[in-house]
């Protein structure tokens, strides 16, 4: 039975792609749906994970792969998480230290002009924000495309986003893959150089989702729909260039990101964030299957114990379609048959969908994960 829980606590990390939650609050779009929302700024993704699992957060900005990893019980933390909406696509970049950049220039100056530049060098330490994140899987994809096994040829570590720049400046890490504005901050302070954004690795990868506990969703259907409605309206507002200056002014507030408008504006440009256009909010189960394929590729899941039905229980396009119908928003119907076919926007029925090419041109069939994975020379498949 649906209840009418009107007061919610939502978790976020101080990243540019927390903008939908922050702006829905500041623009009064949560209130317009009858919701009273408390925003809880968290220190790490693990904090958000734990609070979602125990119910102290009713919803949160969450890394898309975390919805899968928590539902699987990886890291010994298990809860059925669901998402009815992607909050943004893209948004991350790979930054290396200035000293590593000089080494790369010496080794192969021409390669720096190409997104394919990853080549084996001396053992390095690279950081991502969480083991089960698109940051991690896209960084791994890029390294492996250059012949580097991220589990054997370099050191991979996990650091919360807010600590990345300090760790790079101290020399404890040689580079990182993180969301904005931290790449911009590292570059502005002279500690690092942005090599490429993750758009170059996979066009329009799903980044953050609005995640809730499955039990909460089942018991609060009306409130969940109201929450998704407010966020969809916010994402639509946010992707209008005419609103960007107002958005930046709000995000600079100290309780949110507390950074200059210029730093945030540069971060938006580098990260190629998409909040609404090109069907950015649609929670494609096929994208969840690709994430699962990378968990298999790197030995994070030992066997295909999570199949299409499992992914369909997490990514809920039918819920998003319901929100679109209520808001009279054009919406995709159906499923992506293959990822990686499109270098530019394309049409699916009456809606436009974003480009989806991978850096190596390999296509992904979500109905044949095994054959897909056999194409890669670098992997830990079966380990």
pLDDT at 115 over 70: no
Residue 55 lies in a domain: yes
Quote the pLDDT of residue 153: 93
Q: Are residues 57 and 135 in the same domain?
A: no
Q: Are residues 183 and 119 in the same domain?
A: yes
Q: Are residues 82 and 210 in the same domain?
A: yes
Compute the distance between CA of residue 259 and CA of residue 131 in angstroms, rounded to an integer.
Answer: 27
Q: Are residues 80 and 216 in the same domain?
A: yes
For 203-237, write each residue's pLDDT tens digit.
999 999 999 999 999 999 999 999 999 999 999 99
Domain boundary (325, 342, 376) is at 325
Q: Are residues 179 and 263 in the same domain?
A: no
Q: What percent of the chain has pLDDT over 90?
A: 85
Number of domains in the chain: 2
Residue 261 lies in a domain: yes
Report the 10 Å Cβ neighbour count for 95. Answer: 30
Quote the pLDDT of residue 361: 96
For 273-311, write each residue's pLDDT tens digit.
999 999 999 999 999 999 999 999 999 997 656 689 999
Residue 368 lies in a domain: no
Q: Are residues 210 and 82 in the same domain?
A: yes
Q: Are residues 84 and 162 in the same domain?
A: no
Q: Are residues 161 and 216 in the same domain?
A: no
Domain that holds residue 296: 7-88+205-325
Q: Are residues 105 and 79 in the same domain?
A: no
pLDDT at 25 over 80: yes
CATH of the domain at 84: 3.40.190.10
Quote the pLDDT of residue 349: 86
pLDDT at 339 over 50: yes
Per-residue pLDDT band at 102 (split at 50, 70, 90): confident
Q: Are residues 146 and 234 in the same domain?
A: no
């Amino acid at each position: 039975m649906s209840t009418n829980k009107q007061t919610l606590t939502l978790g976020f990390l101080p990243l540019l792609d927390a903008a939908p939650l922050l702006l829905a609050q500041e623009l009064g779009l949560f209130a317009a749906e009858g919701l009273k929302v408390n925003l809880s700024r968290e220190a790490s993704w693990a904090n958000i994970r734990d609070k979602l699992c125990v119910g102290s957060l009713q919803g949160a900005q969450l890394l898309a792969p975390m919805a899968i990893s928590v539902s699987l019980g990886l890291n010994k933390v298990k809860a059925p998480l669901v998402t009815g909406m992607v909050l943004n696509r893209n948004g991350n970049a790979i930054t290396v230290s200035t000293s590593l950049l000089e080494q790369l220039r010496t080794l192969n100056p021409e390669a720096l002009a190409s997104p394919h530049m990853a080549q084996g060098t001396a053992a390095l330490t690279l950081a991502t924000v969480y083991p089960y994140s698109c940051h991690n899987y896209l960084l791994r994809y890029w390294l492996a495309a250059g012949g580097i096994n991220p589990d054997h040829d370099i050191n991979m570590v996990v650091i919360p986003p807010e600590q990345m720049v300090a760790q790079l400046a101290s020399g404890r890490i040689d580079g990182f893959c993180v969301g904005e504005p931290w790449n911009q901050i590292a570059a502005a302070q002279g500690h690092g150089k942005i090599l490429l954004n993750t758009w170059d690795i996979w066009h329009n990868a799903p980044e953050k989702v609005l995640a809730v506990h499955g039990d909460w969703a089942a018991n609060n259907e009306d409130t969940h729909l109201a929450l998704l409605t407010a966020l969809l309206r916010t994402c639509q507002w946010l992707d209008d260039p005419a609103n960007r200056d107002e958005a930046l002014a709000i995000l600079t507030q100290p309780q949110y990101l507390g950074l200059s408008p210029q730093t945030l504006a540069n971060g938006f440009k580098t990260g190629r964030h998409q909040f609404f256009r090109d069907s950015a909010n649609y929670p494609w189960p096929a994208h969840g299957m690709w994430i699962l394929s990378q968990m298999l590729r790197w030995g994070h899941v030992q066997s295909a114990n999570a199949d299409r039905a499992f992914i369909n229980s997490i990514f809920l396009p039918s819920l998003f379609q319901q929100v679109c119908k209520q808001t009279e928003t054009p919406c995709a119907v159906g499923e992506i048959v293959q990822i990686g076919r499109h270098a530019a926007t394309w049409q699916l029925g009456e809606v436009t969908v974003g480009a989806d090419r991978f850096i190596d041109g390999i296509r992904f069939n979500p109905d044949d994960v095994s054959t897909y994975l056999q194409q890669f020379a670098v992997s830990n498949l079966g380990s």
